[in-house]
Amino acid sequence: MSLRSDTNATDNLNERYRLAQSVATDAGAIALEMFRRREQLVVEYKGLQDMVSEADRNVEGYIRRRVGESFPDDGFLGEEGGSDRDDAAFVWVVDPIDGTACFVNGMFSWCVSIAVVHRGEPVIGVVYDPNADELFHARSGGGAYCWNKPIRVHTGCLLKDGALGVGTSFRVGTEAFVPFIESIMRDGGMFIRNGSGALMITYVAAGRLIGYFEPHMNSWDALAGLVLVREAGGVCNPFMENDGLRHGNPVLVANRNVYPQLARHAGMREAGSA
């Protein structure tokens, strides 16, 4: 059953939307305090290009508790703590600190990312950047905002009209990424990578980047930003297909003019899906 046809779910959506914004800003404040004393943090490595600090675990634990207090029947999927009832009607998908490598090394490219999925459809996206004090938020059919200001995707018609965000990881080989970079450079494209995929997808929603591509992202990194892009008038590839919630998928987002161009460079089908 879709959200639009589920009256009770629709009635409850705004309550979850308000909670997601409140929790994101409060969790961001906790993370920022730990960032300011990061020299004291214990940092571990989960694998290549994948680290976790006690800040990640503490912030996720705080978010999980807040959600459980208000919506005990909702599911939860977090980067650090794993899943709990991820087959529930509503599932909260959380990255407590996206950009941990930046966080522990004193760089500002990190954020708190919270999404809510209803029966397989991402319906709420909240990304909070504590360093810039920017709260980006969106809900299905409600538009996208930075605090109270509406945001929209870039208006450019060509890839070279703006800067492109890119990301990759050791989960995929170089063959999934290097040819894409070579292709967009031949087409006059400019690109950046700031260490936080969630922030860069959000910057597409805010019109700061013209698009974003990553060969594979986990759902906790991607979903909040994808809701923001969709509600800001952009196009996203169908991330949730093939159980993207649990296993992740490629991410390609842009405005409607640039998306087909990026899809060709990435070797993906051109028809985007919100």
**CATH number for position 227:** 3.40.190.80
User: Confidence band (pLDDT; 50, 70, 90) for 118?
Assistant: very high
Considering the domain boundaries, does residue 58 fall inside one?
yes
Residues 128 and 19 in one domain: yes
For residue 274, is pLDDT > 60?
no
Residues 177 and 239 in one domain: yes
- The per-residue pLDDT for 60 is 95
Average of per-residue pLDDT across 98-104: 91
- Are the C-beta atoms of residues 16 and 116 closer than 8 Å to each other? yes
Residues 128 and 218 in one domain: no
Average of per-residue pLDDT across 127-135: 98
Considering the domain boundaries, does residue 167 fall inside one?
yes
**124: which DSSP letter?**
E
- The per-residue pLDDT for 4 is 55
Q: Identify the domain boundary among 123, 150, 177.
A: 150
Higher pLDDT, 21 or 181: 21
Considering the domain boundaries, does residue 272 fall inside one?
no
User: How many alpha carbons fall within 13 Å on the CB side of residue 80?
Assistant: 21
Report the percent of the chain where pLDDT is more than 90.
73
Q: Range with the lowest mean pLDDT among 30-44, 96-110, 145-159, 248-262?
A: 30-44
d(CA 236, CA 211): 10
Considering the domain boundaries, does residue 165 fall inside one?
yes
Residues 8 and 142 in one domain: yes
- The per-residue pLDDT for 48 is 44
Bridging pattern class, strands 121-129 and 134-139? antiparallel
Cα angle 207, 210, 213; round to 5 = 125
d(CA 58, CA 162): 37
- The per-residue pLDDT for 45 is 60
Higher pLDDT, 180 or 229: 229
For residue 129, is pLDDT > 70?
yes
Neighbours of 264 (CB within 10 A): 13
- The per-residue pLDDT for 1 is 45
d(CA 232, CA 203): 11
- The per-residue pLDDT for 52 is 61
Q: How many domains in the chain?
A: 2
Which helix H or strand E contains 115, and what residues bound it? strand 111-118
Domain residues for the domain of 110 are 3-150
Report the percent of the chain where pLDDT is more than 70.
90
Closest CA to 51 of 114, 132, 105, 129: 105
Average of per-residue pLDDT across 98-126: 95
- The per-residue pLDDT for 51 is 52
Residues 171 and 144 in one domain: no
Looking at every residue in the chain, the average pLDDT score rounds to 90
Q: What is the pTM of this model?
A: 0.91
- Are the C-beta atoms of residues 84 and 76 closer than 8 Å to each other? yes
Considering the domain boundaries, does residue 13 fall inside one?
yes
Is 260 exposed, middle or buried (CB count within 10 Å of its CB: 0-12, 13-18, 19+)? middle
User: Confidence band (pLDDT; 50, 70, 90) for 265?
Assistant: very high
- Are the C-beta atoms of residues 132 and 138 closer than 8 Å to each other? no
For residue 81, is pLDDT > 80?
no
Q: Identify the domain boundary among 102, 128, 150.
A: 150
User: Confidence band (pLDDT; 50, 70, 90) for 99?
Assistant: very high
Residues 144 and 163 in one domain: no
Q: Range with the lowest mean pLDDT among 6-10, 48-52, 152-156?
A: 48-52
